[in-house]
Amino acid sequence: GNSVTQMEGPVTLSEEAFLTINCTYTATGYPSLFWYVQYPGEGLQLLLKATKADDKGSNKGFEATYRKETTSFHLEKGSVQVSDSAVYFCALRSGGSYIPTFGRGTSLIVHP
């Protein structure tokens, strides 16, 4: 079956630090990959996505590259802000299923 593994949090950084949140997956076929972000008290919202190998999704300074050879989709940002403090979820949807598989989420805390 499909699964998504994320690094455990919380990840605590100072403002302007470099961010990496690791995500690896197992899936049948060729999945689409997603990062969602959940700000405190809100629902999840799509941050970025990639639908095929070597695609790079990007949004709001965040990037992630679909690496088929390592089955990874790590989230990166060059300089985090306090407002980036949230929980980040990696997810996949494989072609044969309409039900996405989510990771457990990684909490990011950014200090001024």
Partner 1 sequence: GAGVSQSPSNKVTEKGKDVELRCDPISGHTALYWYRQSLGQGLEFLIYFQGNSAPDKSGLPSDRFSAERTGGSVSTLTIQRTQQEDSAVYLCASSLEASKGEQFFGPGTRLTVL
Q: Summarize as ranges the residues that interact with partner 1 (CB under 8 A).
A: 32, 34, 36, 41-46, 49, 51, 89, 93, 98-100, 102-105
Nearest to 87 by CA among 39, 41, 18, 22: 39
* Residue closer to partner 1 (CB basis): 17 or 87: 87
State the DSSP string of 11-48. Answer: EEEETT--EEE-EEEE-SS--EEEEEEE-TTS-EEEEE
Taking the complex as a whole, the smallest distance from the CB of residue 98 to partner 1 amounts, in Å, to 4
* Residue closer to partner 1 (CB basis): 17 or 100: 100
Taking the complex as a whole, the smallest distance from the CB of residue 85 to partner 1 amounts, in Å, to 17
CA separation for the pair 88, 36 (Å, rounded): 6
Taking the complex as a whole, the smallest distance from the CB of residue 79 to partner 1 amounts, in Å, to 27
